[in-house]
Amino acid sequence: MYPFKYQKAATVRGAVSLLGKAEDPKLLAGGHTLIPTMKQRLASPKTLVDLSGAGLSGIEQKGRNIVIGAMTTHAEVAASPIVQQAIPALAQLAGHIGDPHVRHRGTIGGSVANNDPAADYPAALMALGATVHTSKRKIPAEEFFAGMFATALDEDEVITKIAFPVPAKAAYVKFPNPASRYAIVGVFVAKKGSQVKVAVTGAGSGGVFRHTAMEEALAKRFNPKSLEGVGTPAADLNGDIHASADYRAHLVGVIAKRAVAAAIA
Amino acid sequence: MPTVTLTVNGRSVTADVDARTLLVQMLRENLHLTGTHVGCDTSQCGACVVHVDGKAVKSCTTFAVQCQGTEVVTIEGLAQDGKLHPMQEAFREHHGLQCGFCTPGMIMAAVDIVNRKGAVDEATIREELEGNICRCTGYHNIVKAVEAGAQAMTGKAPARQAAE
Ligand SMILES: Cc1cc2nc3c(=O)[nH]c(=O)nc-3n(C[C@H](O)[C@H](O)[C@H](O)COP(=O)(O)OP(=O)(O)OC[C@H]3O[C@@H](n4cnc5c(N)ncnc54)[C@H](O)[C@@H]3O)c2cc1C
Ligand code: FES
Ligand code: FES
């Protein structure tokens, strides 16, 4: 790993100002993507700005939203009575990221900012219609994710919290890679009023995406049977050593049905 | 060079370390606590698991500077007054190790599981050990050891029961 200068921000404003003036800076949250990447020398920031002292962790219910601070760990989301009660699918998703040690350090803000095409949280943000709050604005999930490992964030922008509207019904099912636990395919379904959203992670060559054909079928009747015959074109999907694009296309259908079944159970 | 002060196994320690020093490097190289192992250095295997403020973390994926002011417990900190911790004793009793390389991380992970979940059943143990890889045992005796260690730690049922 190349050397870097370590700075700890005491506030979000402090972090933004460090990002503005430090040499080649990068934010450090749980470090569970960034540190492995730096070890491989795929990233070599000159300055790391640690967010752990900036007061960004915590979970609260605000009206019809569950608001989760960017530095809240996966373990905290999984164990939160507020999340378990209002959006159990989200608590369950967080409880199946990686392993217990990863969940003790990894954060929701880091996961969302990283936008790994196989990460779990992006599917939740898309299907629940979440809003990403940053140091300068509020970004709807739909506009936030901008392709593999890309987001709408500016260089000097810090995610502060994420607001999830509480759905009527929701579920997340993932087909994990047995070694890494990342999603080979993960499907998050959510129903709120008459609107149904289906978000697929792990499969898309451009990262997380909404499956509109499934959404239309499920809006008519929210039942796994509605998904019979609703296909997923393999052309836009990932193929790699773990699974071919055709296999992923097949899995999307299977996993989506399981997710709908879990949501109505 | 940043100065890091932390409490390791109840003792306050201070070291000047390069910012890129991993917690596991500080433990092994500065403090000579070589019980914590590096198996993969890619965040997969769990041989490096220690407790930071009571939570199991991979010390190969944590910078020492991130641990400023925290309370760290390593495998060396479990035994008290020359007496093995109940989880260590259970690994010995149930032959939960062969080469022993994964064992410090396994035991630190196991203690963390019991701290969070109490007396756990086999299915839970297998799921919770997701982040710890063992190349030798095939896991059966590790799972048995954790079950027995959990019972011994919580006093929920006699440790002998799980031994069959
Ligand atoms: C063994 C292992 C298994 C894993 N399995 C899974 C899995 O099954 N599913 C899954 O989804 N993920 C998985 N992960 C990834 C894990 O969830 C990471 O913790 C997460 O992706 C990154 O979060 P972090 O807090 O560690 O961020 P960091 O690694 O600290 O940061 C990641 C990136 O985000 C930026 N960043 C961090 N916080 C902010 C912020 N508040 N605002 C703006 N930018 C920010 C950083 O600058 C960096 O570029 C796994 C990781 C490991 C090591
Ligand atoms: S050495 Fe840390 S996870 Fe393998
Ligand atoms: S006992 Fe050898 S790796 Fe587990």
Task: Give the strand order in the sheet containing B3-8.
Answer: B11-16, B3-8, B71-73, B49-52, B55-58
Query: pLDDT tens digit string along A183-211?
Result: 999 999 999 999 999 999 999 999 999 99
What is the CATH code of the structural domain delimited by A59-165?
3.30.465.10
What's the fold here for domain A5-50? 3.30.43
Distance (angstroms) between ligand 1 centre and the Cα of A28 equals 9
Query: pLDDT tens digit string along B89-117?
Result: 999 999 999 999 999 999 999 999 999 99
CATH architecture of A169-264: 2-Layer Sandwich (3.30)
Residue nearest ligand 1's atom 36 by CA: A110
Q: Which ligand is nearest to the CA of B49?
A: 2
- ipTM computed for the complex: 0.94
Give the closest of A98, A101, A181 to B49, CB-based: A101
Nearest residue in chain B measured CA to CA from A49: B66
Q: Is B63 on the interface with A (CB under 8 A)?
A: yes
What is the CATH code of the structural domain delimited by B86-154?
1.10.150.120
Q: Cβ of A20: how many Cβ atoms within 10 Å?
A: 10
Closest-CA residue to B66 (of A25, A30, A255, A262): A30
Specify whether the backbone of A41 is left (phi greater than 0), alpha (psi in -120 to 50) or beta: left
Q: Where are the domains of chain A?
A: 5-50, 59-165, 169-264
**pTM score of the predicted model:** 0.96
Q: Position of tokens 């949501």?
A: A263
Q: What ranges make up the beta strands (E) of chain A?
A: 5-8, 25-28, 47-50, 59-62, 65-69, 131-134, 138-140, 159-165, 169-176, 183-192, 195-201, 209-210
Give B121 to chain A, closest Cα distance, Å: 17
Q: Where are the domains of chain B?
A: 3-77, 86-154
CATH architecture of B3-77: Roll (3.10)
pLDDT more than 70, % of chain A: 100
**Contact check, Cβ <8 Å, A31/B66:** yes
